[in-house]
Amino acid sequence: MVLRIAHQMAFQSLRAVPKVVARAPLRVQVRQPQLAFRRCFASVPQEQPRLRLGSTAPNFKALTTNGEIDFHEFIGNSWTILFSHPADFTPVCTTELGAFAKMKHEFDKRGVKMIGLSANDIGSHGEWIKDINEVASTTVQFPIIADADRKVAFLYDMIDQQDLDNIDQKGIAFTIRSVFVIDPSKKIRLTMMYPASTGRNSAEVLRVIDSLQTGDKKGVTTPIDWQVGDDVIVPPSVSTEDAKKKFGEVREVKPYLRYTKF
């Protein structure tokens, strides 16, 4: 009797197996877009560099509206701003490129090169620049990287996680709005990342450049909302006595919070 029950239970278990196997193809189908996406980006490294502040900006070669470049050679001994855009002929991107183009003389005064990136090809960039110049009443002079295959966007992690999880029909992820400020030694000094729906503040990028360059030259730090001409902060590592020798007048609010004239 016991053996008969055991045999029946075993038989019922075997009958249940095909039902589990039948579901397996559904799991494979769900993953197919991700597999297609991986094939599309087979040449992109699986592990991206850790883009921490102070790390070396990854080098790359790319075609731009001003010709082919080696990024590190492009930087040379200058400060550089690399900023990305989701796509050509889109409204927010058009306003951003126009604003940066108008401020080129300000960045030039600070010895800063600008280079943009948009996830389209060179032909598209060329036509889009005409729109930017018309809308903003300016002339775009800095290069714009053609990154239709998203290689640079992946190298600099300019990709929205939502798009990685929900790849569109082309198997290509959306590029977000990123800003990288890179110093002459090729070190990343600042990163800003914005969603595609939000335009950047070009004046803030310029303010950060002023702060970084002031800190490097004078050995100071800058408080919130600091602008050129405002008082700067004496770093905690410098004693008040040494600060007075170095900077002259020092205004002490707290032992750890001391201001001096810029």
Q: Which segment, 25-34, 37-46, 108-117, 198-207, is predicted with the most confidence on average?
A: 108-117
- Please give the full DSSP string across 146-187, using - where no structure is assigned: E-TT-HHHHHTT-B-HHHHHS--TTS-PPB-EEEEEE-TTSB
Provide the pLDDT for residue 163: 57
Pair 101, 167 in one domain: yes
Provide the pLDDT for residue 204: 95
Mean pLDDT across the stretch 203-221? 96
Provide the pLDDT for residue 12: 46
**Which is the catalytic residue, given 93, 172, 220, 250?**
93
198 pLDDT higher than 80? yes
Contacts of 11 (CB under 8 A, 6+ apart): none
171 pLDDT higher than 80? no
pTM above threshold 0.95: no
**Do residues 62 and 71 touch, judged by C-beta distance below 8 A?**
yes
Q: How do residues 129-143 score in pLDDT, each as one tens digit?
A: 999 999 999 999 999
Over the range 42-56, which residues count as b (16 or more CB within 10 Å of their CB) and which as e? Answer: eeeeeeeeebeeeee
Confidence of residue 13 (pLDDT cuts 50, 70, 90): very low
Pair 235, 123 in one domain: no
Confidence of residue 164 (pLDDT cuts 50, 70, 90): low
Pair 197, 81 in one domain: yes
Alpha helix ranges (H) inside the chain: 2-40, 71-75, 91-102, 104-109, 122-136, 151-155, 161-165, 202-218, 240-247
Quick one: tokens of 70? 């080696």
Pair 171, 81 in one domain: yes
Mean pLDDT across the stretch 112-126? 91
Catalytic: 40? no
Confidence of residue 177 (pLDDT cuts 50, 70, 90): confident
Pair 68, 168 in one domain: yes
85 located within any domain: yes
Pair 236, 186 in one domain: no
Structural domains counted in the chain: 2
**Do residues 56 and 186 touch, judged by C-beta distance below 8 A?**
yes
